[in-house]
Structure 1
Amino acid sequence: MSTSADPADHAHSDAATASRVAKARRLAAYAWSRDIGSAELLALPAATLRKLARAAETNPPSTGETWRVVADLLDRKDAWAARNPDHAAAVRAHADEKLLWVKPPITPWSDNS
């Protein structure tokens, strides 16, 4: 029998699950419109993930579980967008902001003289 004093029970209650999914959807919408893929998202440092959540006007998730749900939603949206490229919802409205979150790898200088 579970009690409300046990935090592990609350973390997996129906209400907590619904809240986690709603938060994940907000975060996924924000990340997807900025062309951030699931692998890129999961590779971001914790501090960057917190900043991203705040930029999405969402309290940062307290566990990695929510971020894994976000990554799954990003994969699903990518697959949907690939199947529906002409749909207005398949357009990434803020793709130019990706560089604010995901830094491209730095190519070292080569001395070919």
Structure 2
Amino acid sequence: MEPDDVDFAHTDLADRMRRDKAVGLARYVWERAISGAELLALPDDRLRKLARAADVNPPSTRETWTVVASLLDEKSRWAAAHQAHPQATPAHADEKIMWVKPPLPPWPS
């Protein structure tokens, strides 16, 4: 690969920075009891607002959000195996509704 052909978005440094950002986002999102699947289902504008609420510069691609979702899934598995641990329960689960709207019940016929 020529020096002019370097893909800076996929260097080791970029990967480390993406992971650091993902960890910060995952901590914030976990505390709001949002799952990885719920996170990835959010529209881009809501993801940007979520990142700002977490005091993180919003990621420019979905790649970082995919890493966040993976970290959330990993934490969920850990929490299920360590239910008695204080960090196994999200501290701000009541804030989930601010980000993930529950499905509307069907209209009665």
TM-score (norm 1): 0.91
Which of the pair has more CA radius of gyration? 1
Q: Distance in 1 between matches of 2:34 and 2:65?
A: 13
The structural deviation recorded for 1:109 is 2.9
CA RMSD of the aligned region, Å?
1.3
TM-score (norm 2): 0.94
Q: Distance in 1 between matches of 2:34 and 2:23?
A: 14
Could you tell me which residue of structure 2 aligns to residue 11 of structure 1?
9
Q: Which amino acid aligns with 1:82?
A: A
Question: How many pairs were matched up?
Answer: 109
Structure 1 unaligned segments of length 5 or more: list them: none
Could you tell me which residue of structure 2 aligns to residue 100 of structure 1?
98
Structure 2 unaligned segments of length 5 or more: list them: none
Match of 1:47 among 20, 45, 48: 45
Could you tell me which residue of structure 1 aligns to residue 64 of structure 2?
66
Q: 1:83 to 1:12 in 2, by over 3 A?
A: same
Q: Distance in 1 between matches of 2:86 and 2:24?
A: 18
Give % identity: 59
